[in-house]
Amino acid sequence: MAIKCHLRTVLLDLGSDNGSERIVEKEKLINIELIQSFEDLRNKNKSLSTAIDGLSQEKKKQDKQLNELQQYLANERITNKQLENRFDKSQQELNKLKYDVSEQRCMNQQLIQKQNDLVDQMKKQEKELNALHDHVNDLIFHLEGAEKLQLEATSGEFATSQIVITYKPKQAHRRK
């Protein structure tokens, strides 16, 4: 645009009749300026083309890196989802195990209580058995004594004799 304006001013200046030399010289100057401007534009174009090529290469590189990162991210998301699924499954198993342990503890407490109750009941029955055993021994002693009295004693001896019974409490037999 600046070149066109410059050419118009030159052509307007050439409108005078001072000579064709002046026109030729101005045309040469204009041509030199145009060639110089053209060379400047060509150099700028080359440097811009080089810069564009460099930027295109950089963009391709970055696009490739972006694709690699997107693929990596997709793989990481898949891995993350798999890990979340494993974690959820492990958490469910852990909760089930905690529940099972709780159930086992409850059953153990109940079994211990039942065992203690049975031990108490066994001790009570053992005491009752020992008492019955002592009672049976006393009955056997009484029956044996009565039988001996009947066999050895005569009827006359019974009338003149006296029986004195003293009671000595027996100590309970203890088992070890």
Q: Taking the mean position of all CA atoms in its chain, how far away is CA 132? A: 64
Q: What is the pTM of this model?
A: 0.43
What is the pLDDT, as a whole number, of residue 77? 96
Residue with tokens 């890196």: 65
**Interval 30-49: pLDDT, tens:** 999 999 999 999 999 999 99
d(CA 12, CA 43) in angstroms, rounded, equals 31
**Cβ(6)–Cβ(30) under 8 Å?**
yes
| Residue 55 Cα distances to 41, 58, 59, 61, 112, angstroms | 20, 5, 6, 10, 82
Pull the structure tokens for residue 81: 């989802």
**Cβ(162)–Cβ(149) under 8 Å?**
no
d(CA 6, CA 13) in angstroms, rounded, equals 11
**Interval 63-115: pLDDT, tens:** 999 999 999 999 999 999 999 999 999 999 999 999 999 999 999 999 999 99
47 φ, ψ to 5°? Answer: -65, -35
Q: Find all residues with CB under 8 Å of 133, minimum gap 6, and list them.
A: 173
